[in-house]
Structure 1
Amino acid sequence: MDVTGDTTPRRGRGARERILAAAARLFAEQGISATGMEQVAGQAPVSKRTLYVHFRSRDELAIAYLQSLVASGKTMESVLIRADLGPRERILHLFDQPVTDASAVRGCPFIDAAAEFPDPRHPIHAYAREQKLRMVRLVTDLVTELGCREPVALAEQLVTLADGAASRAMVLNQADYGRYARAAATTLLDQALA
């Protein structure tokens, strides 16, 4: 017991964060499907019992990982809610690859997750779809603010460009690949505002 009267064992503190950090590294390096819970426990490091206290399954851990990415602001969608940029700048920053610790370009983690779990009813796929629909809503709001005609169609075009650029950046391992899609997005915005 410490001076505050707390009798909680100290070793359990921070376990969830360590598990999520280990899972994030492993999922980014080798994918969700290829990562076992035992491997996550070893990398955390925590016992398997502790791991399962925090996350009952790999699916639950994968969704928590994706949620933590959203909360961290390290996804390409996060630029869409930045208050320090105007609407047009936010849209164009979609085409800048987020900085990561990985040596390889990873692309969009939501597209990766949906590809690994192709059944639309699977919880991981469903969460990835929610994030992609959120991205379209955010872009729709921004192009509406800019006064663009047909904001929903334009938003879908811009998001398709961003997702395609992220996928090609990953396949080609070329972090700055988004510059090509950014040029196309600039043209789309210019035409929509003409």
Structure 2
Amino acid sequence: MIEPHPVRRRRGRGARERILKAATELFTAQGINATGMEQLSTVAEVSKRTLYTHFPSKDELVEAYLQSLEDDLLPVAPSLAQPTPSPREQLLAVFDWKLPETTVPFRGCPFLNVSVEVPDPGHSAHRLAAAYKREFARRLTDIARQAGVADPENLGEQLALLFDGAAARGTALNNSHTGACARSIAEVLVDAALAGVGRASP
């Protein structure tokens, strides 16, 4: 558990950003259930009144935390306006995990973690995590379809499942190298799918 900093309070703009930054730090390191609003206000250097002004409940803060992660963690959707790597490389890139230099335990996928910590499928945080996972597979399917594979839905689901398995195993073992192992398996799946339509690339 992260030790609370000495209590300090900062005024002015940026309180919401500091709260979200503190939430990301604490939720990643110790989980949402182990993180209290008192600790969040201390690390964010805001009063509890300010904290509750921006986020009236912890559930709302968890939702904002998850929403702030979506764009950075979802596979890049194909776009004509922005040059991207080949579809093959886009599919494999989801396994190239960019990990911060830190000594804290490897925590895998935050959306998987939230779905485990909040098991109620009707809870707003669990619904957000499930929606993210569906969108993750849909993005992979779109890229596979752009590549011309015969069954893009199947390949997208296979890669999404492989990603989740690597993230969960890495969390259990505190080992981020499961991503590299998963990538080597993904290469076999992707190249087999591409070979089926004569588009395999080196």
Q: Shorter-chain-normalised TM-score: which range?
A: 0.7 to 0.9
Q: Identity percentage over the alignment? A: 49
CA shift for structure 1 position 98: 2.7
Task: State the one-letter code of the partner of 2:191.
Answer: D
Pairwise CA RMSD of aligned residues?
Answer: 1.7
Distance in 2, Cα, partners of 1:102 & 1:131: 26
Higher helix share: 1
Instruction: Give 5+ residue unaligned stretches, structure 2.
Output: 1-9, 196-202
Instruction: Show CA shifts across 1:138-175 (max 9, x none).
Output: 00001111111111111111110011111112222222
**Residues 1:167 and 1:79: Cα distance change in structure 2 (over 3 Å):** farther
- Corresponding residue for residue 143 of structure 1: 144
Distance in 1, Cα, partners of 2:134 & 2:100: 24
CA shift for structure 1 position 30: 0.9
Instruction: Show CA shifts across 1:27-60 (max 9, x none).
Output: 0111001111111001111110000000011111
Instruction: Show CA shifts across 1:94-113 (max 9, x none).
Output: 11223235422220000000
- Corresponding residue for residue 92 of structure 1: 92
- Structure 2 contact 76–139 (Cα < 8 Å) conserved: no
Task: State the one-letter code of the partner of 2:43.
Answer: Q
- Corresponding residue for residue 55 of structure 1: 55
Distance in 1, Cα, partners of 2:62 & 2:102: 18
Counterparts of 1:173-192 in structure 2 under 5 Å?
173-192=174-193
- Structure 1 contact 79–90 (Cα < 8 Å) conserved: yes
SS of structure 2 residue aligned to 1:175: coil
Distance in 2, Cα, partners of 1:174 & 1:134: 26
Distance in 1, Cα, partners of 2:181 & 2:121: 30
- Corresponding residue for residue 36 of structure 2: 36
Number of corresponding residues? 182
- Structure 2 contact 75–139 (Cα < 8 Å) conserved: no
Distance in 1, Cα, partners of 2:64 & 2:100: 18
TM-score (norm 1): 0.87
- Structure 1 contact 70–78 (Cα < 8 Å) conserved: no
Instruction: Show CA shifts across 1:64-108 (max 9, x none).
Output: 11111124x2x2x24556843221111111112232354222200
* Range with bigger deviation, 93-102 or 108-117: 93-102
Distance in 2, Cα, partners of 1:162 & 1:83: 25
**Residues 1:55 and 1:70: Cα distance change in structure 2 (over 3 Å):** same
- Corresponding residue for residue 3 of structure 1: none
Task: State the one-letter code of the partner of 1:68.
Answer: S
- Corresponding residue for residue 155 of structure 1: 156
- Corresponding residue for residue 7 of structure 1: none
TM-score (norm 2): 0.84
**Residues 1:101 and 1:47: Cα distance change in structure 2 (over 3 Å):** farther
